Amino acid sequence: MPSIFGSAPILAVVAIQLLLIPSVVSSLNVTNEYIHHACNNTQGKFKPGSVFEKNLNIALKNISAFNLHKGFALDSNMDRPYKNIPPDTAFVMLQCRGDSYGSKCRSCLATALSGLRKKCPRNKAGTIWYDQCTLDISTYSAGDSRILYDNYFCKENPKDLSGDTQMFIKKKVAFTEKLLSEVKKLGKNGKGPLYATGETMIGTKKLYGMMQCTDELYENGCYVCLDWIISEHPLCGREKQGVRYLCRSCNARFELYPFLRT
């Protein structure tokens, strides 16, 4: 694909991570809708042909070399460890959803690059969320095992619940805790994908759930991030048919319809 931030052509490819917790979902039409974006204005903007733009293109080119078996993409124009970071260093972090792989992941990346350029033109830092991936660009990295607490939000399903809402809410909370306990087992010793899915019956309805973290949050970081972001929005989605919790480092989603591939 053509470069989004410069003139040099760049083939952008991202690795995904996949862990299947048994789920029966078929005949599913998964979209890649735009969810939200956040332009970080504190890091300023870059000019065409600037050092930052050149470094950003290097970071995007580096990501294109990642193989598809690694579950997360974080790279820059400089080598790790990220210490004594010089000015105009560019970092690109990309996470595709665990069930979005191959062409779907590459398609989401192309969409995210184009979307971030339009919504945050020439910003040195910004984040954009789509249904299938998250793209983050910045001038710094806090290093491994980091939780990026800024730019977090909650998005409700616009449809209201019907029937016994209190029973539904109670069982959804229990289901959330169950998925969090699954997440706690992931990423031990820096290994394994930080992605968990599940489903549960609530009366005659089936509730589907998904939780995911960036690969930087191994050990207990993933659980800490998800527990925090859900706790920050205790009333969000309580009487709705679904809800999403998103930040730069982790996300969770619950819906009354199947939104995951088998």
Q: Is the model more confident about 106 or about 163? A: 163
Name beta bridge partners: 37.
128
Q: Are 245 and 230 within 8 A, CB to CB? A: yes
> Which range is most confident: 15-19, 21-25, 187-191, 197-201?
197-201
Backbone angles phi, psi at 178, to 5 degrees: -65, -45
Q: Looking at the domain 154-255, which fold is it?
A: Killer Toxin P4; Chain A (3.30.430)
Q: Cα 122–128–132 angle (5° rounding)?
A: 140
Q: What is the pLDDT of residues 194-245, one digit of tens each?
A: 889 999 999 999 999 999 998 888 778 899 999 999 999 999 999 999 999 9
Whether 154-255 and 34-142 are alike in CATH topology: the answer is yes
Q: Is the peptide bond before 2 cis (omega within 30 degrees of 0)?
A: no
Give CA–CA dist 10/33, Å, rounded.
24
Is residue 178's pLDDT more than 80?
Answer: yes
Q: Are 157 and 242 within 8 A, CB to CB? A: yes
Give CA–CA dist 90/209, Å, rounded.
34
Q: Is the model more confident about 101 or about 229? A: 229
- Residue 184: per-residue pLDDT: 87
Average pLDDT taken over every residue of the chain: 81
Q: Are 132 and 34 within 8 A, CB to CB? A: no
Q: Is the model more confident about 86 or about 91? A: 91
3-state secondary structure of 153: strand
Q: What is the pLDDT of residues 46-57, one digit of tens each?
A: 999 999 999 999
Band (pLDDT 50/70/90 cuts) for residue 149 is confident
Q: Are 198 and 209 within 8 A, CB to CB? A: yes
The percent of residues above 90 in pLDDT, for the chain, comes to 47
The pTM is what? 0.82
Joined together, the tokens standing for residue 215 give 């690969």
Give the CATH superfamily of 34-142. Answer: Gnk2 domain, C-X8-C-X2-C motif (3.30.430.20)
Joined together, the tokens standing for residue 23 give 């789920």
Give CA–CA dist 160/100, Å, rounded.
28
Amino acid identity of residue 211, one-letter, is M
Is residue 260's pLDDT more than 90?
Answer: no
Domain residue ranges in the chain: 34-142, 154-255
**Considering only CA atoms, which of 78, 59, 53, 71 is closest in space to residue 14?**
71
Q: Cα 66–71–74 angle (5° rounding)?
A: 60
Give the residue-averaged pLDDT of 52-72: 76
